[in-house]
Structure 1
Amino acid sequence: MKSIFTLTTLLLTTASALPFSVSPSHRGPRALATRSNCTAHAVSADAEPDTGGAGLNITNADNQTRSYFVYENGCDTVPAKYLSVDAGATKFLPLPAGFQGRVVRGTTDVNLDGSAHTLGTWVEIGLDASGTGWADVSLIRGMDGAVTIASADGSGAKTGFSENSVLDDATESILEAKPSGAMAIKATEDWQAALLSNVVSYLAGKLGYAVAYIDDYHGNPVISSSNSRFAVTFYEGRP
């Protein structure tokens, strides 16, 4: 997979190499070494305080309360934690040292049912041993709405996109139903199917390759934060 996490040689050439290994059981982009024991039960993070450590300030820029789910790589059936954020509000989501995984939109009815649900926009986060955090937006597993990520270390680094038209303008031929019934843009992970359905060309035409991973073969839209803290904004989407 083409990314900072799966192409170690690319990182070495940019002096930003991370000592992560690719898991053969998880084909998602930025796949890191998986945990041997996944979380048995998802934990609500609604009341977790910000103690100054690693984590995400998640802003819900949608027009109603939304829930967001944290998955560690290799643990697709049970999220590690989740939280709900009112429309227009921001909540802090602490992350443990060495976290490697994603944050996605969802609903408690679907994401807590014990099954894997991967279709949608992924906010991918990796924390290394030096205290540096790495982040990107990936559409390789689908797209259910816009997301932006900004480093909270004062560097000004940011990535992602806020254009709702990317999803709203998509034709039926490149859409797929999520378990909730909401329609999302199809995954591009299967590149042959993606080419046949014009998903990659549609996303590339809308976004280019600089703000999100839209397939495994173009771009490297990754940012870092020296304090492992990021500001994440989820725009109107389809959980």
Structure 2
Amino acid sequence: MKSIFTFATLLLATASALPISVSPSHRGPRALATRSNCSTQAVDASSETDTGGAGLNITNADSETRTYFVYENGCDTMPSKYISVDAGASKFISLPAQFQGRIVRGTTAVNLDGSAHTLGTWVEIGLDASGTGWADVSLIRGMDGAVTIAATDGTGATTGFSDNSVLNDATDSILEAKDSGAKAIKATEDWQAALLSNVVSYLSGKLGFTAAYVDDYHGNPVICSKNGRFGVTFYEGRP
């Protein structure tokens, strides 16, 4: 079973950078388990200042202002923070030490209502104890638009995809309404790990297995940034 975090743990065979305790963010039981120290109120980080630490420089390549939400593993009912970015603009959002979680498209009306909203494209981020960052795009919980990720440590590492025909060409048979009412491609696996082969076949036919996690069984589309910083571009999507 592969994910950003299981993949990173495998690297311990040759390096000791990552802690063994790092766990997959998109595994169903993990994602639904509630931690006792989850945020009870999300912080609006739209005016946050980049002080040079770990985090994401988010570019909104959509045609209107969008809001993006940061969720820590095990805290699916309330994001820790969120950021609104004008169309064509970029903003930085910091991440705490050893962060493990995701950032997703959404709306304040839905994502701040105290319920879990998991359907959509996940940008998965993990920071190890040394400050090294690991990132991937996961479609295992659904797909609501394209995303690319680039390491900003000078290595040039990139992952993700910008082709929104993946979403726009999808037929109704593989679409599902998000809690906002917008239509997204269904999750490829349900919480009981049942594989939705028709969705996997469609996504893999469009993307292969090297640009994003289409399921938890193929590929390792993970990149590393030694400074814990990434540039993330969200293309036109359905929040």
TM-score by shorter chain over 0.5:
yes
1:40 corresponding residue in structure 2: 40
1:21 corresponding residue in structure 2: 21
The 1:10–1:24 alpha-carbon spacing in structure 2 relative to 1, beyond 3 Å, is: closer
Check conservation: 1:42, 1:80, Cα contact below 8 A.
yes
CA distance in 1, matches of 2:29, 2:61: 26
* 3-state secondary structure, aligned to 2:18: coil
Check conservation: 2:69, 2:103, Cα contact below 8 A.
yes
* 3-state secondary structure, aligned to 1:39: coil
Over residues 138-173 of structure 1, what are the superposed CA-to-partner deviations in whole Å (9 max), with x where a residue is unaligned? 000000000000000010000000001000000100
CA distance in 1, matches of 2:230, 2:23: 25
CA distance in 2, matches of 1:25, 1:157: 21
Over residues 163-199 of structure 1, what are the superposed CA-to-partner deviations in whole Å (9 max), with x where a residue is unaligned? 010000001000000011000000012354511xx10
The letter for the 2-side match of 1:194 is L
The 1:27–1:208 alpha-carbon spacing in structure 2 relative to 1, beyond 3 Å, is: same
Check conservation: 2:55, 2:230, Cα contact below 8 A.
yes
* 3-state secondary structure, aligned to 1:104: strand
The 1:114–1:145 alpha-carbon spacing in structure 2 relative to 1, beyond 3 Å, is: same
CA distance in 2, matches of 1:212, 1:16: 25
Count of matched residue pairs: 236
Check conservation: 1:133, 1:224, Cα contact below 8 A.
yes
1:147 corresponding residue in structure 2: 147
CA RMSD, aligned part only? Answer: 2.3
Comparing 183-192 with 39-48, greater Cα deviation is found at 183-192
Check conservation: 1:140, 1:188, Cα contact below 8 A.
yes
Check conservation: 2:3, 2:24, Cα contact below 8 A.
no
The 1:29–1:137 alpha-carbon spacing in structure 2 relative to 1, beyond 3 Å, is: farther
2:214 corresponding residue in structure 1: 214
Query: Residues 148-227 of structure 1 correspond to what in structure 2 (within 5 A)?
Result: 148-190=148-190, 192-195=194-197, 198-227=198-227
CA distance in 1, matches of 2:77, 2:30: 18
CA distance in 2, matches of 1:81, 1:9: 27
Check conservation: 1:4, 1:10, Cα contact below 8 A.
no
1:85 corresponding residue in structure 2: 85
The 1:229–1:34 alpha-carbon spacing in structure 2 relative to 1, beyond 3 Å, is: farther
* 3-state secondary structure, aligned to 1:166: helix
CA distance in 1, matches of 2:55, 2:29: 21
- Give the C-alpha shift of residue 5 in structure 1: 1.1
CA distance in 1, matches of 2:28, 2:104: 14
CA distance in 2, matches of 1:4, 1:136: 6
1:57 corresponding residue in structure 2: 57
Over residues 33-62 of structure 1, what are the superposed CA-to-partner deviations in whole Å (9 max), with x where a residue is unaligned? 985400110010011100011110000000
4+ aligned runs moved over 4 Å, structure 1: 22-26, 28-31
Compute the TM-score of the two structures, normalised by the length of structure 2. 0.92
1:115 corresponding residue in structure 2: 115
Compute the TM-score of the two structures, normalised by the length of structure 1. 0.92
The 1:30–1:125 alpha-carbon spacing in structure 2 relative to 1, beyond 3 Å, is: farther
Q: How much identity, in percent, do the aligned residues show?
A: 81
* 3-state secondary structure, aligned to 1:184: strand
- Give the C-alpha shift of residue 24 in structure 1: 9.8
